[in-house]
Amino acid sequence: MVLIAGSANLDFVVRAKHIPAPGETVLGSDLQTFPGGKGANQAVACARAGGVPVAMALALGRDAYAKVLIASLQSAGVVLHAQAFDDVASGTAFICVSDDAENAITVAPGANTRLLAAHLPALNAYRFLLMQLEIPLSTVLDSARLAHAAGLQVALNAAPAQALSPDLLELVDVLIVNEGELRAISKNQGSILDAMATLPCQSVVVTLGARGAVARQGQGLHYQGGFAVQAVDTTGAGDTFCGVLIAQLAAGQGMPEALQFAGAAAALSCTKPGAQSSIPENSEVQAFLAGRSAAVVSALQSYCEARA
Ligand code: RIB
């Protein structure tokens, strides 16, 4: 069973030709709202991947946004351990999505800043704890300590990027980062493989967008090429990857199989708008994988070996 401790945000999304540069105003589409937040997106991805029960510890305001966020998580089958606060709004995110499917995101964390390790349910029923960095770093560290002591595997998606203490990294069994986050944590300017090798975690998984992903597990390396899709919105693709990867590992799959399934789910999520609204069900990922193959990994390998 997987427990996610993390953020939930209502996403306010506007599409525009391009993401505005500093000082620039662009005219965009009508405003749309979607349930989001890295923690909640990963919980939904984990639940839709199937195979393991999924629960989430989160903090919300007592407001209309919270109702939307709770409904989306519950309809995906996530069991909630929610704290409700009267004096702070639920988390929100302001997202501009460009016509080439990229995004720029600003988060107003609101109630997410109130989540504490003390809000986690009893840990003995769980095999994995999955966290991100949209909740206080002290909560992440305290929760990792509790989970490690209780014998859980600790998984951390270190997003948004920030430097992390060795104390925390030593408690993390599975670290999932993109290239920017890897550089922020490792402070290593060599190749991606060099940077991965500096980290003490048992498994380090680096997502590389359309190129695919690479994982170091102990001394072994696994490459997964990207899947080509017609992308309309990449928001939540990284979260889809994280949630599905941990669901697969928790269900007993090996790292190569988990990387492939997570990569396919993340690619599929780019073909629909929104965060949680775009996360595929297990059956959709299976159908996608039956009809497609990933890009060959030789270019990905060269990219990971090249000095930055
Ligand atoms: O990773 C995408 C998510 O980042 C969005 O859903 C937004 O809420 C922010 O947390």
Strand order in the sheet with 103-108: 32-36, 9-16, 91-98, 103-108
Distance (Å) of CA 218 to CA 204, 221, 250, 301:
9, 8, 18, 18
275 lines ligand 1 (CB under 6 A): yes
Please report the pLDDT score of residue 188 as a whole number.
Answer: 81
Query: What pLDDT was estimated at residue 294?
Result: 79
Cα of 306 vs centre of ligand 1, distance in Å, is 30
Ligand 1 mean position to 93 CA, how many Å?
7
158 CB within 6 A, ligand 1: no
Nearest protein CA to atom 10 of ligand 1, as residue: 37
Cα separations (Å) of 39 from 42, 123, 187, 215, 228? 5, 18, 25, 22, 26
Return the active site residues: 239
128-91-10 Cα angle (round to 5): 95
Indicate which residue's Cα is closest to atom 6 of ligand 1.
36
Rounded Cα distance between 230 and 268, Å, is 9
- 308 pLDDT exceeds 80? no
The lowest-confidence range among 184-188, 263-267, 268-272 is 184-188
Closest atom of ligand 1 to CA, residue 11: 8
Amino acid present at 71: A
Average pLDDT rounded to a whole number, residues 71-93: 98
pTM of the model: 0.97
Mean pLDDT for 95-119 is: 96
DSSP string, 12-64: EEEEESSPPPTT----B---EEEEE-HHHHHHHHHHHH-SS-EEEEEEEESSH
pLDDT given for residue 295 in this prediction: 78
Q: Report residue 80: phi and psi, to 5°.
A: -105, 140
Q: What percent of the chain is predicted at pLDDT more than 70?
A: 100
Q: Is the pLDDT of residue 305 over 80?
A: yes
Say yes or no to pLDDT of 257 above 80.
yes
pLDDT of 307 > 80? The answer is no
Ligand 1 proximity of 36 Cβ (cutoff 6 Å): yes
For the chain, the residue count is: 308
CA distance 206 to 176: 6
Give the Cα separation of 70 and 233 in Å (integer): 23
In angstroms, what is the span from residue 273 Cα to ligand 1's centroid? Answer: 13
The whole-number average pLDDT for the span 177-206 is 95
Cα of 219 vs centre of ligand 1, distance in Å, is: 32
Q: What is the mean pLDDT of residues 226-230?
A: 95
**296 falls in which pLDDT band (50, 70, 90)?**
confident
Distance 274 CA to ligand 1 centre (A): 9
Token readout for 121 is 């349910």
Per-residue pLDDT averaged across 35-53, rounded?
97
Helix ranges, 150-273 (H):
166-169, 179-186, 192-197, 237-250, 255-269
Please tell me if the CB atom of residue 235 comes closer than 6 angstroms to any atom of ligand 1. yes
98 contacts 70 by C-beta, under 8 angstroms: no
Peptide bond into 160 cis (omega under 30): yes
Verify whether ligand 1 is closer than 6 Å to residue 63 (CB atom). no
For ligand 1, atom 9, name the residue with the nearest CA: 37
pLDDT, tens digit, for every residue of 117-174? 999 999 999 999 999 999 999 999 999 999 999 999 999 999 999 999 999 999 999 9
Answer yes or no: is the C-beta of 157 below 6 A from any ligand 1 atom.
no
CB 55 within 8 A of CB 81: yes
Closest ligand 1 atom, residue 275 Cα: 6
Is residue 38 in contact with ligand 1, taking CB distance under 6 Å? Answer: yes
Can you list the domains of the chain with their CATH numbers?
2-22+30-305 (3.40.1190.20)
Coil vs helix vs strand at 305: helix
The pLDDT, as a whole number, for residue 225 is 96
Give the mean pLDDT of the chain.
Answer: 96
Check if 239 has its Cβ closer than 6 Å to any atom of ligand 1.
yes
In three-state secondary structure terms, 225 is: strand
Residue 235 Cα: closest atom of ligand 1: 2
